[in-house]
Structure 1
Amino acid sequence: MGAPRVLLVEAFYGGSHKQLMDLLQENLSSCCLCSLPAKKWHWRARTAALSLSQSIPTSGSYRVLFCSSVLNLCELVALRPDLARLKKVLYFHENQLVYPVRKDQQRDFQYGYNQVLSCLVADAVVFNSSFNMESFLSSISSFMKKIPDHRPKDLEQLIRPKCEVLFYPVHFPDVSREHDKDPELFLSTMIKLSERQVDFQLSVLGETFTDVPEVFSSARLLLSRHIVSWGFLPRKQDYLKALCDADVVVSTARHEFFGVAMLEAVHCGCYPLCPKALVYPEIFPAEYLYSTPEQLLKRLQSLCRRPDATRRHAVKVDTSSFSWSTLKDRYQTLLSLDAPL
């Protein structure tokens, strides 16, 4: 195997960012991965370029640089002029122009500004969904108005021609059927179902962080007779079994730029209920979307009272279109070696 021609750079090597880089490294030839651990995201966004500029090996064989938008690509290529000549591909898992904060005044201007700068120096800018791309591009102008004077102009027009949508490649497990996210809405809906004497079983899956909302502990007591699983399942096979055993999967997300977990659940046979907002209308037909908490409650009540019909339903989402086997050729083309020298 020859010297690496594709340089993979990940400033936040964890979660979906790590999974994508690992997938590319395992399936595409001639890759070199340079990364920093997924800790203290805010500091990675501010300072990763300097650290990586000192750790990325020098090589005359590189032709393509692929990185996520956590990295300030502008700073990296300024610090490492040898990388400036490469075909530079920037991948957006999420964007900081519309990432939710409690108050807009709390939004750190630097994070979004870094992403705009990175787009300007990139040769190709790739988003995991149309929602992600359009929400970013359409917000650039208003975002830049925060600058008190000498505001840059026409940035959307400069960046848009470089942009394309390429779905995040989900590595779906081989399963057979035996299934900032607003937990308050989800758990309050479950409590209302319980109060209405609706028969259901509940799994609440996910990582536990330091600051656990109070609603979790109170809801766990109120819903105790329904609970099958609660919290993080460290073994992937246990997580997949929980998905395969479930009939319905619910998202109450306040933000979502793609939604791997929902697609994994559908792949495992779950009937999805998602907000009629964010990325979901791009992926899920209207029959799986709800607009209000009242609609969600009504839909869940109906599904719980007709479990056999729910289980027989074939979800009208082709998960294979989001799989690595389907998307591999497009990623290979994106990272092709026909790069400017």
Structure 2
Amino acid sequence: MTVLLIEAFYGGSHKQLVDLLQEEMQESVLFTLPAKKWHWRARTAALYFAQNVPVNPNYRILFASSVLNLTELVALRPDFGKLKKVLYFHENQLTYPVKKCQERDFQYGYNQILSCLVADVVVFNSAYNMESFLTSIGKFMKLMPDHRPKDLEKIIRPKCQVLYFPVKFSNISREHDKDPESFFKVLLKMKEMELSFHVSVLGETFTDVPDIFAEAKKALGLSVLHWGYLPSKDEYFQVLCMADVVISTAKHEFFGVAMIEAVYCGCYPLCPKALVYPEIFPAEYLYSTPEQLFKRLQNFCKKPDIVRKHLYKGELARFSWAALRGKFRSLLTTEPKEDL
């Protein structure tokens, strides 16, 4: 039996997952496209893979992330139609935030819905990701002017399950912050009050960097310990281990690998009481407003032992590759229904 792994956006958590799966499944082959120009990957990757994945009668299971338009791939490659098709959602385009509803490209979410209809198993990295997607289908389809398909949630839901993204704690990944304005606003307020703290801002540098990054770096001055991309995972790991607190000000998050890794390194997490975070972290580590975040950090600056002697009260083991390995293996070893 051969497992066909396809990743249209081979970077970050997408890369981590398929690399783990290929390592685990000896009889597997991996085909990828670089993690660049996400929108074009979503639009065109199916045709690329249809032309570049060789025909192999030994294929039994197809695993792909939801960046790929699975419907187009199966239509272009009828030999894939009989395979057990597993679609994994790292994120979903029905609830991915945009500034204005008019700016949301209907096609991306629509393609994900179509891919779910074609898939045999639809897997989400969190319950939040799954429920936000399924419960948004009805409203999303109302964007169509007429002749709207019916009962799509009812058709797709029975295929769905939650399987957390497996964090291999010996490895470290990077994840850019989702709302730098809120994050830096709190830090600059702390700086104005002459509170004693140091900050490390880690992550890859993308083409469009908000102005607030340069402004905040200058304003924070000597409070900055590390800034920007660290080329080595070991270096990244070391910086996390030096930190006392890890902060998320995300406006969207479907899992949050970087936060879990930071907590594993000993950081005290502070996350919004929203999105996936209540599913991942106990209530003690959640805040509702920027003011609450500021007050927590202010208190930590004055009494650093609160976090330095704190023992994390949540459970990290359930997100480990060791805990999830068997479930992923089972997902990729079940034979398809059809007789091939």
TM-score (normalizing by structure 1): 0.96
Q: CA deviation at 1:237?
A: 1.1
**Structure 2: which amino acid aligns with 1:316?**
K
| One-letter amino acid of the counterpart of residue 200, structure 1 | F
User: Residue in 2 aligned with 1:36?
Assistant: 33
Aligned to 1:294: 291
Are the aligned partners of 1:11 and 1:38 in contact in 2 as well (CA < 8 Å)? Answer: yes
Equivalent position to 1:223, from 220, 224, 242: 220
Displacement, 1:174? Answer: 7.7
Match of 1:76 in 2: 73
How far did 1:210 drift? 2.2
Report the 3-state secondary structure (helix = DSSP H, G, I; strand = E; otherwise coil) of the residue aligned with 2:169: coil
For the pair 1:283 / 2:280, whether they are aligned, the reply is yes
Aligned length: 334
Residue of structure 1 equivalent to 2:141: 144
Aligned-residue sequence identity (percent) comes to: 65
TM-score by length of 2: 0.96
2: CA distance between counterparts of 1:6 and 1:37?
A: 21
Unpaired stretches in structure 2, ≥5 consecutive residues: none
Match of 1:239 among 230, 236, 248: 236
One of 315, 319, 335 as aligned partner of 1:338: 335
Equivalence for 2:101: 104
- Where 1:153 maps in the other structure, the secondary structure is coil
State the partner residue of 2:314. 317
Deviates more, 1:206-215 or 1:269-278: 206-215
- Deviation, 1:337, is 3.5
Residue 315 of structure 1 and its aligned partner are, at CA, apart by 0.9
> Which residue among 150, 156, 165 is the counterpart of 2:162?
165
Aligned to 1:57: 54
Distance 2:85 2:287 in 1: 39
Partners of 1:205 and 1:229 within 8 A in 2: yes
Structure 2 residue 147 is matched with structure 1 residue 154: no
Say if 2:206 is the partner of 1:206.
no
Match of 2:302 among 300, 305, 308: 305
Q: Which consecutive aligned stretches of 4+ in structure 1 deviate over 4 angstroms post-superposition?
A: none
Q: Unaligned stretches of 5+ in structure 1?
A: none
User: Which residue, 8, 11, 35 being the options, matches 1:11?
Assistant: 8
Within the candidate set 303, 323, 328, 2:325 is matched to: 328
RMSD: 1.2
Deviations 1:207-262 (A, max 9, x none): 11222211111211211121110111111111111100000000000100000000
Find the aligned partners of 1:224 and 1:237 in 2 and give their Cα distance.
Answer: 25
